[in-house]
Structure formats: structure tokens, C-alpha cells
């Protein structure tokens, strides 16, 4: 499906025709260079590889430099493959925000903000503070029992416990495109998207 690689700029808000204040996210999307075309004959599947943001050659490996030189473009910082892009795309083509239009619905993939080690209340939404009766002392945000002793005498896999929270790949679906600004390679989408400002995003129609 057609898509782009982008970078999250930040959040702002716009007013609708009815006067409602709509929170939105500004994304720098593209331009992306077609750095490789995967074919069934050679690779066993069809896909288009796009590269985003130029990288200095002194920071690239020799294989990277040779790979992008075949496409006639500079080494890129971020490379992503998209399937079913269309047969009219050629090696070295530049894909811009023109593939998106206002009112389009897109899926946006990114890595959520890392929160570090968190307890069960924040990580899994446990209730936390209960009734402080019957001598309850310091178990206000504790997970409670995680398994019986006599049977099964162990803790089941997948038990919701404290641990590292965030920093995982997240996809939000059917995000509405509010506005496209081609001269600045910007896309304004409704609502929030995963990740901190400056993080990479994958936009798919």
C-alpha cells in the first residue's frame, strides 16, 4: 500500500469550520527516495524500499553507499519497505506528500515513549489504593496474589507484573489527515500519534 516515512514535529491545534478546537499532530513526511524494488523473481515477494533523510557518507558503511548509489541517491538515515505500492514506481523516484490528501484515513506506526520500570498501577491500570482497613499497611499499589501455593505452585506465563513500560512498536489506525502542506513536506493529522517529538513514523494509506 502507498506510504511514506516521516518524523514527528509536535502537537498543536486547529479550529474546524464549526469553531471546535481540534488537537492535531504535525508530521514532516518525505521526500522519500525509492532505494530498492523487490520482485518475486529475485526476492520472492514484491515491495518498494524507501529511504528518508540524507546521511553523510562519512557516517555510512561502504555497503550502504554502494546500495544507495545504485538508486542514484545519497545514503539515508531511515529505510522502510512498503508492499503493494504500484508498478509505476521506478528506482530513484522521489515520493512526496502528494500521495496524501486531506480527509484521507491512514495508519501511523511508531515507537511509544519509553517510561522505564513501572509498577502494575501505571503499566497495567490496576486499581491501586483499596480500603485501608483490617490492618492494611503498605500494600496500596501492590499487585496482590500472583498464584496459589499448593496448586499450580508456580506463576503462570503472561502474569501482569511490574516491568519496563513503553518503548514498543505501536500502530494507530484510521487517523484522519486534516491538511497537507506540500511546499514544506508537512502533514497535519487529527489527534496524537505514538512516540516523542523527532521520532520516526511510518504512514500508510
Give the length of the chain. 205
- Give the predicted TM-score (pTM) of the model: 0.83
Task: Give the residue from 36, 122, 45, 135 showing the smallest Cα distance to 76.
Answer: 36
Are residues 177 and 100 in contact, defined by beta-carbon separation less than 8 angstroms?
A: yes
Residue 129 pLDDT = 75
Cis peptide preceding 152, ω within 30 of 0: yes
DSSP annotation string for 144-179 = ---S-TTTT-SPPTT---SEEES-SEEEEEEEEEEE
Nine-digit cell string for 157: 506465563
Show pLDDT as tens, one digit a residue, over the chain (205 residues): 588 999 999 999 999 889 999 999 999 997 999 998 888 899 898 889 999 999 898 999 999 999 988 888 899 999 999 887 666 888 888 888 888 888 889 999 999 999 999 999 999 999 877 666 777 777 888 888 888 888 889 999 999 999 999 999 999 999 999 999 999 999 999 999 999 999 999 999 8
Are residues 25 and 188 in contact, defined by beta-carbon separation less than 8 angstroms?
A: yes
Q: Report the distance separating Cα 47 and Cα 39, nearest Å.
A: 7
Residue 136 pLDDT = 75
Nine-digit cell string for 87: 508498478
Residue 122 pLDDT = 94
Nine-digit cell string for 163: 516491568
Task: Give the residue from 16, 167, 201, 161 showing the smallest Cα distance to 103.
Answer: 16
Q: Report the distance separating Cα 131 and Cα 45, nearest Å.
A: 58
Cβ neighbors of 166 (< 8 A, separation 6 or more) are 112, 113, 114, 115, 116
Question: Where are the domains positioned within the chain?
Answer: 3-129+157-204
Domain topology for 3-129+157-204:
Elongation Factor Tu (Ef-tu); domain 3 (2.40.30)
Residue 1 pLDDT = 59
Residue 16 pLDDT = 86
Amino acid at each position: 500500500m502507498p506510504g511514506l516515512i516521516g518524523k514527528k514535529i509536535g502537537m498543536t491545534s486547529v479550529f474546524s469550520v464549526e469553531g471546535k478546537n481540534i488537537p492535531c499532530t504535525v508530521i514532516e513526511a518525505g521526500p522519500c527516495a525509492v532505494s530498492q524494488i523487490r520482485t518475486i523473481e529475485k526476492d520472492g515477494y514484491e515491495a518498494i524500499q524507501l529511504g528518508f533523510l540524507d546521511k553523510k557518507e562519512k557516517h555510512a558503511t561502504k555497503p550502504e553507499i554502494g546500495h544507495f548509489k545504485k538508486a542514484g541517491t545519497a545514503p539515508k538515515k531511515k529505510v522502510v519497505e512498503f508492499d503493494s505500492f504500484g508498478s509505476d514506481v521506478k528506482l530513484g523516484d522521489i515520493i512526496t506528500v502528494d500521495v496524501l490528501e486531506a480527509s484521507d484515513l491512514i495508519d501511523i506506526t511508531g515507537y511509544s515513549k519509553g517510561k522505564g520500570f513501572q509498577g502494575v498501577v501505571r503499566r497495567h491500570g490496576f486499581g491501586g489504593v483499596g480500603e485501608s482497613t483490617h490492618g492494611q499497611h503498605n500494600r496500596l499499589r501492590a499487585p496482590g496474589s500472583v498464584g496459589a501455593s499448593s496448586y499450580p505452585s508456580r506463576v503462570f506465563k503472561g502474569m501482569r507484573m511490574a516491568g519496563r513500560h513503553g518503548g514498543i512498536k505501536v500502530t494507530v489506525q484510521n487517523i484522519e489527515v486534516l491538511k497537507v502542506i506540500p511546499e514544506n513536506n508537512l502533514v497535519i493529522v487529527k489527534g496524537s500519534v505514538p512516540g516523542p517529538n523527532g521520532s520516526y513514523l511510518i504512514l500508510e494509506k
